[in-house]
Chains A and B, each alone.
Chain A
Amino acid sequence: MIVGGSTIVINVNGWNGKQPVYECKTMSAGTEGATQSNRGSLEKRLSKQSLLDQGFFWLTLVMAIGIAAVLAFVIYEIGRSALPAIQTFGLGFLFSTTWDPVQNVYGALPQIYGTLVTSAIALFLAVPIGVGVAVFLTEDFVPGYIRTPISFAIELIVAIPSVVLGLWGIFVFIPFIRPFYQVLNSTLGWIPLFAGVPRGYSLLTLGIILAIMIVPIIISITRGTLLSLPPELRQGAMAMGATRWETIIRVLIPAGLSGIIGSVMLAFGRAMGETMVAAMLVGNSNRISISLMNPGATITSLIASQFGEAGRTQVAALLYSGLVLMVLTLLVNIFAEMIIKKFQNVE
């Protein structure tokens, strides 16, 4: 076709006979040959590309399998080292409260209890705060120049090394919180949870510090989830005459529930696995106390405080408790997956 001195070349590349690709180019006359040779080199490049594709596929496959292999190896090694303790104590390990390195009799119930209780306290405090702050940061309650520094500060909490947070807990937080514990004890002491002599190093203190550590996780994932919701949802709800709160509570949070639950479960796993802060603040007392303001122990604090001078059976018992912690975390994750699936089905 000649249009005003220039040639319009229409290339029909029948890729698979079904989807012809029409390429329209306007160029000066006499360049048709060049177009042909361009096509030749294009095909060569394609084969090089497919080689690269293949290579990339295998590389990523090896990496992915490698990660899984590392996990399997870790579990295997821990299981192997813990085997003497597993054989000696069996499942009774989970229900015994004795931890006696002299007699070599071990049971981890107080530590399992402490791990679950402190993580539960942390979640109880962190979930409402985290979800609330995430909502606050995604809605335009305040202008961006206030929101941005707040988000930044929240991200920075994650950057605090846990040992520093532990020190802060010992020297700043515990002296600060003690009077409040006294008040709590004198007013709500009739509830077993707040009975007894309130102590600074306690399950509650650890729970609160853990809450500080996991709040940013909940905030950032929940915030991401809420931001990723289609704006049509909000508009739809507002157009139905929903107020801002009704929109948030009845539409946005339910729509983002799987992400929110995911963040909570991730935070739960983090709280259960946190070691340094636990060892520094929980009081390391091998007992089950109903009162939250009494000292206790967690699996992580147990391992961290005893590993150094442990004998053979004791090491096996410590690794057994570590295995228990891994299984607990795994159960939490499976549980989270189940919840997320359930809600996604509703969606």
Chain B
Amino acid sequence: MTYSTITSSTDTLLQVNNVSVYYGSVLALRDVFLDIPKQQVTAFIGPSGCGKSTLLRCFNRMNDLIPGARVEGKISYRGKDLYDSDVDAVEVRRRVGMVFQKPNPFPKSIYDNVAFGARIGNSKENLDELVERSLRSAALWDEVKDKLKASGLSLSGGQQQRLCIARAIAMQPEVILMDEPCSALDPISTLRIEDLMHKLKQQYTIVIVTHNMQQASRVSDMTAFFNAEAAEGGNRFGYLVEYDKTGAIFNSPQQQATQDYVSGRFG
């Protein structure tokens, strides 16, 4: 097993240094080294159980919510270890937003959904402006501007997902994590969200987990391929196989496993 750690010309925002994740005593992800560049889209691809979502959830410490989850190694955000004892997970999550696989707007109005982050953060900002700006950034404003008081759940699946993106943007985070954001959406909604990602990376650093390799090749600048391996006792753990510019991963991968996976000859 070899790791190719690419140091790109752009700034590194998140640095994953020899990270292993355990759930209880079960190893889920082993020895990952990875640098996530600023204001680019980084895609994690790989088969189920390869730990890509697990790693994503380390970036905003959502793994803290799973009893028994444990992270070894170091994940630095702007040079600061996210798992340092003096780091407040709540503060981390305000800077690192997340969009989930299944759209999960709160059962509140569209307006209240977007304003949620500002309200809990006691932001003094003008909420109307913030809501409009965030909805515009998420390419949803024109569709909902006349029904901001309507429930977020009344929207279609694709609109709900864009509402969740708007909600994350409204927190003014630096990083947006997306955990298979389009897997529950139809192709047209998927396309809209991919377009959106291209726009968003002007301002935000995006890390996306996807099962869809075409999607990874369309939206991402960097791609990390993870694979799973059976450990003793029947459990499977994931590891990073290859990490490179997206073009290189899809056209001239260094590893045979990557080649097999991206060309569909996996397993």
Contact = CB atoms under 8 A, between A and B. Distances in A.
B151 interface: yes
B55 to A, nearest CB: 16
B167 A240 contact: yes
A49 interface: no
A243 B89 CA distance: 9
B106 A236 contact: yes
Contacts of A246: 120
Contact of B106 (A233, A243, A345): A233
A235 B107 contact: no
B93 A239 contact: yes
B106 A346 contact: no
Nearest to A255: B107
A347 B107 contact: yes
A4 interface: no
Given A235-B62, A238-B65, A347-B153, 20 more contacts: A230-B104, A232-B102, A233-B104, A233-B107, A236-B104, A236-B164, A237-B106, A239-B60, A240-B93, A240-B97, A240-B116, A240-B168, A240-B171, A242-B116, A243-B120, A250-B119, A250-B120, A254-B108, A255-B107, A347-B108
A241 interface: yes
B94 interface: yes
B67 A140 contact: yes
Q: Which of B90, B105, B153 has the most CB of A within 10 A?
A: B90
A241 B120 contact: yes
B69 to A, nearest CB: 13
Interface of B: 60, 62, 65, 67, 90-91, 93-94, 97-98, 100, 102, 104-109, 116-117, 119-121, 151, 153, 164, 167-168, 171
Contact of B117 (A240, A255, A346): A240
Contacts of B62: 235, 238-239
Closest 3 CB pairs of A and B: A241-B94, A232-B104, A239-B98
Contacts of A241: 90-91, 93-94, 117, 120-121, 171
A251 interface: yes
B40 to A, nearest CB: 21
Contact of B107 (A239, A240, A254): A254
B96 to A, nearest CB: 9
Contacts of A250: 116, 119-120
B109 A346 contact: yes
Contacts of B164: 236
Contacts, number: 71
Contacts of A254: 106-108
A347 B120 contact: no
B13 to A, nearest CB: 18
B106 A251 contact: yes
Interface in A195-254: 230, 232-243, 246, 250-251, 254
12 contacts: A232-B100, A232-B102, A233-B107, A235-B100, A236-B105, A240-B93, A240-B116, A246-B120, A250-B120, A346-B108, A347-B107, A347-B108
Contacts of B167: 240
B165 to A, nearest CB: 12
A66 B91 CA distance: 59
B93 A238 contact: yes
A189 B151 CA distance: 48
A152 B90 CA distance: 34
Q: Which of B67, B104, B119, B171 has the most CB of A within 10 A?
A: B104
A242 B94 CA distance: 8
B235 to A, nearest CB: 23
A255 B155 CA distance: 17
B93 A255 contact: no
Nearest to B103: A232
Nearest to A229: B107
Contacts of B120: 240-243, 246, 250
A235 B60 CA distance: 11
Nearest to A242: B120
B97 A239 contact: yes
Nearest to A258: B107
A141 to B, nearest CB: 12
A239 B120 CA distance: 12
